[in-house]
Chain A
Amino acid sequence: MTFAKQTASILAIVAVSATSAAARDNVQVAGSSTVLPYASIVAQLFGENTDFPTPVIESGGSSAGLKRFCEGVGENTLDVANASRRIRDREIAACAENGVTGIIEVRIGYDGIVFASQRQGPGFTAFTPADIFNALGAKVLKDGAITDNPHRTWAEANADLPQVEIAAFIPGTKHGTREVFEEKVLLVGCEATGALDAMIASGMSRDAAEDACLDVRQDGRSVDIDGDYTETLARIDANPEGVGVFGLAFYENNADRLKVATMGGVAPTTETISSGQYPVSRPLYFYLKKAHIGVIPGLKDYAQFFVHDQIAGPGGPLANYGLVADPDLAKTRARIEGEVTMDSGI
Chain B
Amino acid sequence: MTDMNPDKARRSASLHRPDARTRRRNAAEKRFRACGLAAILLGLFFLLVLVATILRNGAPAFTRTVLEIELTLSPAQVDAAEAEVFKTRAYAQLFIAALQDQLETRGLDVAFDAGALERIVGQPGGTIRAHFQANPGQIGEPVVFELAASSRVDGYFNGRVSRATLQDSRFLQASDLDLVDALADAGILRRAFNLTFLTGADSGVDNPGGAGIGAALVGSVYMMFVVLALALPIGIAASIHLEEFAPKNRVTDLIEVTISNLAAVPSIVFGILGLAVFIQVLHLPQSAPLVGGLVLTLMTLPTIIISTRAALKAVPPSVRDAALGVGASQMQAVFHHVLPLAMPGILTGTIIGLAQALGETAPLLLIGMVGFVARGYPEGVVAGFTEPNSAMPAQIYTWAARADAGFYDKAWGGIIVLLVFLLTMNLIAILLRRRFERRW
| Interfacial residues, chain A to chain B (CB-CB below 8 A) | 4, 7, 10-11, 13-14, 17-18, 21-22, 24, 26, 28, 30, 33, 36-37, 39-45, 47-49, 53-54, 56-60, 75-76, 227-230, 249-250, 252-256, 305, 308, 310-311, 316-317, 320-321
Minimum CB–CB distance for B157 against chain A, Å: 16
- State whether B375 touches A44 (Cβ < 8 A): no
- State whether A21 touches B88 (Cβ < 8 A): no
Chain A, interface SS category:
helix
* Complex interface: stretch among B135-143, B283-291, B347-355: B283-291
Other-chain contact of A76, B129, B161, B279, B371 (Cβ < 8 Å): B279
Minimum CB–CB distance for B34 against chain A, Å: 36
Chain B 358-385, CB within 8 Å of chain A: the 1/0 string? 0000000100101111111000001101
- State whether B386 touches A17 (Cβ < 8 A): yes
| Interfacial residues, chain B to chain A (CB-CB below 8 A) | 84-89, 125-126, 129-130, 161, 165-167, 169-171, 202-207, 229-230, 233, 279-280, 283-288, 290, 365, 368, 370-376, 382-383, 385-386, 388, 400-405
- State whether B87 touches A49 (Cβ < 8 A): yes
- State whether B167 touches A255 (Cβ < 8 A): yes
- State whether B204 touches A44 (Cβ < 8 A): yes
- State whether B372 touches A48 (Cβ < 8 A): no
- State whether B368 touches A30 (Cβ < 8 A): yes
Q: Which residues of B contact A48 (CB under 8 A)?
A: 87-88, 125-126, 129-130
- State whether B169 touches A17 (Cβ < 8 A): no
Minimum CB–CB distance for A330 against chain B, Å: 15
Other-chain contact of A310, B85, B279, B370 (Cβ < 8 Å): B85
- State whether B375 touches A49 (Cβ < 8 A): no
- State whether A53 touches B371 (Cβ < 8 A): no
- State whether B371 touches A36 (Cβ < 8 A): yes
Q: Which residues of B contact A75 (CB under 8 A)?
A: 283
CA distance A311 to B206 in the complex (A): 13
Which 7 pairs, one residue from A and one from B, show the smallest C-beta to C-beta distance? A58-B371, A44-B204, A253-B403, A57-B372, A41-B204, A40-B372, A48-B126
Other-chain contact of B385, A17, A28, A60, A76 (Cβ < 8 Å): A17
Q: Which residues of A contact B88 (CB under 8 A)?
A: 45, 48-49
CA distance A43 to B374 in the complex (A): 8
Other-chain contact of B403, A28, A43, A76, A254 (Cβ < 8 Å): A254
CA distance A313 to B209 in the complex (A): 24
Q: For the A-B complex with A11-B229, A40-B372, A320-B206 known, give 6 more contacts whose Cβ atoms are closer than 8 Å.
A: A36-B371, A45-B126, A58-B371, A254-B403, A256-B165, A317-B89
Q: Which residues of A contact B376 (CB under 8 A)?
A: 54
- State whether A13 touches B170 (Cβ < 8 A): no
- State whether B374 touches A26 (Cβ < 8 A): no
Minimum CB–CB distance for B4 against chain A, Å: 71
Tell me whether A310 and B86 are in contact in the complex, defined as CB-CB below 8 angstroms, given that A37-B402, A76-B283 are known contacts. yes
Taking CB as reference atom, which chain B residue is nearest A28?
B286
Other-chain contact of A44, B167, B287, B374, B388 (Cβ < 8 Å): B374
Other-chain contact of B375, A4, A36, A53, A249 (Cβ < 8 Å): A53
CA distance A64 to B374 in the complex (A): 22
- State whether A44 touches B126 (Cβ < 8 A): yes
Tell me whether A230 and B403 are in contact in the complex, defined as CB-CB below 8 angstroms, given that A48-B126, A56-B375, A256-B165 are known contacts. yes
Taking CB as reference atom, which chain A residue is nearest B287?
A56
Other-chain contact of B233, A4, A28, A39 (Cβ < 8 Å): A4
Minimum CB–CB distance for B351 against chain A, Å: 18
